[in-house]
Amino acid sequence: MDTGAADNLRRRTRSSRARRGAATGARAVLRAVSVGNTEDTDHDMEGAVGLCKLRVTAPRYSLLREVGRGAYGVVYEAVARRSGARVAVKKLRCDAPEKVELALQEFWALASLEKRHENVVQLEECVLQRNRVAQRMSHGNKRSKQYLRLVETSLKGERVLGPPEEPCYLWFVMEFCEGGDLNQFILSRRPDPNTNNSFMLQLTSAVAFLHENNIVHRDLKPDNILISERSGSPILKVADFGLSKVCAGFGNASEGKVGEEKNTNINKFWLSSACGSDFYMAPEVWEGHYTAKADIFALGIIIWAMLERITFIDAESKRELLGTYVRHGADIVPVGEALLDNPKMVLNIPQKRRSCMSDGVRKLLHDMLAFNPQDRPDAIQLRARMDQVMCAA
């Protein structure tokens, strides 16, 4: 562990997320709200309150406790009343354009996935709620005035959601990951090469699946990788799609420009919103012109930190987090930022003298963390190379 330089940490957060809001009284909310027993409906939920009231009589989930709180959302452990299954419920208050944008991005990404992947958190359903009326969201529900208002709010960047005293919420019902996040899991156990190998394969498989489905995650970091231990061995789940981008149907285009082609080459789809968490951000993300290869860089940082247990203390949360960095005197600098200053810099992989990192993994990490995104493997190549490296080990 190397945390000595934490206080001198040079942070330039270029996250699109706003600062954490004031904490709300979670317990009071738990009792008051249950997600209603709603079905997809063709009716305008606002104009058909009587009808909807009938539909929201039987709550489907009981909220048990708060398990996490992010920049915009609160996450609860809950139980589905009918099946008794444990689920996670993330509640996002949609009262400002930037919050609506995050909520919709998360919804669009998770709802666009037609197949399940073991290493991507599963969305069971998404419910839009206002006052006591709840409506199950389906992808592009154009008949719902409330959904269209959300989209308009996000696109225009101004509030078109009705009176502030009647806030609207999006509830994401997901599979519950009881094993905490990757930081907690790795740092609370002794190093285990088998677990490391399995996690490398799981992570590359998840990112390949997302990219095959035209989703760039844009905020891959150990906090957003959750663990499920239901099956006995730990299964990683990539979560938190609030910053993700669905690049489908735009061809080899740029963010916001609609082209003709249907088959997207996600590695040629240019994105421009500089977002993410600085320690995991690729050099080109710092400059605001990047593609899906930014996810490959973030994954390189995560895997390198996991294998060598390289950590820093997050200045805001004071938590110890897995992440690699470069030392500049007494400062520690995110690798992507340091590479931007000096593209020829050779990364010191492995960093620790007594490392048992194989040559194959070392070479793969160097490639994943290449300054030039074109020198990095894409997610499909990465999955194939990771399989080879693991077989050779």
Ligand X SMILES: Nc1ncnc2c1ncn2[C@@H]1O[C@H](COP(=O)(O)OP(=O)(O)OP(=O)(O)O)[C@@H](O)[C@H]1O
In the complex, which residues of this chain contact Mg ion (CB under 5 A)? Answer: 70, 224, 240
Across 206-276, the runs of DSSP E, i.e. the strands, are: 215-216, 225-228, 235-238, 245-246
d(CA 379, CA 342): 25
Residue 219 falls in the annotated catalytic set: yes
Q: Which does 73 bind (CB under 5 to 8 A by kind): ligand X, Mg ion, none?
A: ligand X
240 vs 337, beta carbon nearer ligand X? 240
Residue 362 beta carbon to ligand X: minimum distance, rounded to whole angstroms: 30
144 vs 244, beta carbon nearer ligand X? 244
Residue 65 beta carbon to ligand X: minimum distance, rounded to whole angstroms: 11
Q: Of the candidates 35, 100, 111, 121, which one interacts with ligand X according to CB under 6 A? A: 121
* Strand partners for 332: 327
Placement of tokens 């609160």 in the chain: 74
**Cβ contact 222:321 at 8 Å:** yes
Nearby residues of 253 by Cβ (< 8 Å), 6 or more positions away: 259, 269, 270
Residue 70 lies near ligand X (rule: CB under 6 A): yes
* Strand partners for 334: 325
Q: Which does 299 bind (CB under 5 to 8 A by kind): ligand X, Mg ion, none?
A: none
> Of the ranges 135-143, 238-246, 278-286, 332-340, which one interacts with ligand X (CB under 6 A)?
238-246
d(CA 300, CA 310): 13
Query: What's the token pair of residue 223?
Result: 């906090």
Nearby residues of 113 by Cβ (< 8 Å), 6 or more positions away: 120, 123, 213, 215
**Dihedral sign, Cα of residue 359, residue 333, residue 208, residue 170:** positive
**Cβ contact 179:230 at 8 Å:** no
**Cβ contact 251:261 at 8 Å:** yes
120 vs 340, beta carbon nearer Mg ion? 120
Of these residues, 181, 219, 240, 295, which one is catalytic?
219
Residue 386 beta carbon to ligand X: minimum distance, rounded to whole angstroms: 25
| Residue 91 annotated as binding site | yes
127 vs 340, beta carbon nearer ligand X? 127
Q: Of the candidates 33, 210, 211, 223, which one interacts with ligand X according to CB under 6 A? A: 223
Phi, then psi, of 354 in degrees rounded to 5: -95, 65
Residue 2 beta carbon to ligand X: minimum distance, rounded to whole angstroms: 23
Q: Of the candidates 153, 205, 224, 244, which one interacts with ligand X according to CB under 6 A? A: 224
Q: Site residues for ligand X, window 25-54 (CB under 6 A)? A: none
Q: Which does 174 bind (CB under 5 to 8 A by kind): Mg ion, ligand X, none?
A: ligand X
Q: Which amino acid is at 368?
A: M
Following DSSP, what letter does each residue of 334-348 receive, concatenated?
A: EHHHHHHH-TTPPP-
Residue 242 lies near ligand X (rule: CB under 6 A): yes
> Of the ranges 141-149, 239-247, 288-296, 330-338, which one interacts with ligand X (CB under 6 A)?
239-247
Output the residue with the shortest Cβ distance to Mg ion. Answer: 240
DSSP category for residue 115 = S
d(CA 378, CA 393): 22
**Cβ contact 164:157 at 8 Å:** no
Residue 227 lies near ligand X (rule: CB under 6 A): no
Interface with ligand X (CB under 6 A): 17, 67-68, 70-73, 75, 88, 90, 121, 174, 176-177, 181, 223-224, 226, 239-240, 242
Residues acting as catalytic residues:
219
Binding site members: 91
